[in-house]
Structure 1
Amino acid sequence: MARIAIISGYKPFEVGIFKNDDPAVHYIKAALRNNLVSLLEEGLEWVIISGQLGTELWAAEVVFELQLEGYHELQLGVITPFLNQEESWKEANKEWYDSILAQADFIDSVSRKPYENPWQFRLKNQFFVEKSDVLLLFYDSEKEGSPKYLYETAKRHQEKHDYKIYTIDFYDLQVLVEEEHMKDQDM
């Protein structure tokens, strides 16, 4: 039973998204939603993110939408790798992040210090896979980026534990786009 899911994936710039109203965001959120609904049917209770821009904050928005639609048992935790991760972000991104934190059910940091060095990200990845049952990752091995490190940590964990890894890749998104276009044509 998957009670705790980690959701992560690409940051917006890694996939060429520079505005939250980019049409691609709709499809990424739809893919996240489809996976989350399946996990909810298997007993999902918590979604944990580290609060990174992009996939993680879009996932938080999907969690809030699902809560409004009746999945009241679903909760969101934001566990950052270190304190004040948003310090150098643009003002609009800080506001987006703050709006997510304001609605989260749990907020904490793995390292209770500001950024020092990359080991804090490795520690966060290890903590996340050890404390969860499943990883849902927007990641395509054809296009490496920051999700690669969490994916590799999860794969190593999976070798010794019953741990599920679900990925959303660019092919999955293309299928979603085509399905929606076919629905639109049928109407």
Structure 2
Amino acid sequence: MKVLFVTGYKAHELGIFKNNHKGVTYIKRAIKKSMLPLVEAGLEWVIISGQLGVELWAGEAVQEMQESFPELKLAVLTPFLEQEKNWSQENKEYYEGILIGADFVDSISKKPYENPSQLKQKNQFLLQKSDGLLILYDEEKEGTPKYVWQEAKKLQEQKDFPIWQITFYDLQQVVEEEQLGND
């Protein structure tokens, strides 16, 4: 596997409104734990669309992993131009920090937001450009990742397309491992 698409819930869907929320630490740890065997097996690129939440935290996790795995690259392929236009200043600065550290940045649609079809096109494009999907998604809590999840499942019926899923149970395991390690 050369290219992995990483996605999941938006921050607000998880009740997280600040990037220094304790939950972000556990989410990044779960992402790294899932990616590590793939990186060790030769994963070259992680692609995200740069949405607030799991995707930007994954971008940050990749940048942290690059200290040990400098050959690992991060691509941010936004669905449209100026995705961050209506974000808070704090979120814009966080986003810019991820973009500055990325190895490749581009927009799939060369126009600003027009309609939801751009988001559907983004999902299809990123799935087609990747060799697998890592998704933080739990079927018991629907949210925006449902759409990528459904597209990836369809793709899996057509070709070998591995999907690695991080569920809320997996996150709870990471929290418990952390707490055991700190006692």
Q: CA deviation at 1:56?
A: 0.7
Matches within 5 A, 1:90-109: 90-109=88-107
Matches within 5 A, 1:75-90: 75-90=73-88
Give how far 1:6 is off. Answer: 0.4
Q: Give the deviation of 1:22 after TM superposition.
A: 1.1
Mind listing any 5+ residue stretches in structure 1 that lack a counterpart?
none
Q: How many residues align?
A: 183
Aligned residue type for 1:71: F
Q: How does 1:29-68 map to 2 (within 5 A)?
A: 29-68=28-67
- Deviation at 1:23? 1.0
User: 1:55-105 CA deviation, whole Å, 9 max, x = no partner?
Assistant: 01111111111111x201100000001111100101100011111111111
**CA RMSD across the alignment:** 0.8
Q: Distance in 2 between matches of 1:108 and 1:169?
A: 29
SS for the counterpart of 2:105 is strand
For the residue of structure 2 that corresponds to 1:82, the secondary structure is coil
1:118 matched to 2:155? The reply is no
Distance, in Å, in 2 between the alignment partners of 1:85 and 1:17 is 19
* TM-score using structure 2 length: 0.98
- Alignment partners' CA distance in 2, 1:7 and 1:20: 18
Partner of residue 25, structure 2: 26
TM-score (norm 1): 0.96
1:9 matched to 2:37: no
Query: Do structure 1's residue 139 and structure 2's residue 137 form an aligned pair?
Result: yes
The answer on 1:157 being equivalent to 2:155 is yes
Letter in 2 for 1:32: I
* C-alpha separation in 2, matches of 1:145 and 1:94: 23
Partners of 1:147 and 1:153 in 2: CA distance: 10
What SS class does the counterpart of residue 138 from structure 2 fall into? coil
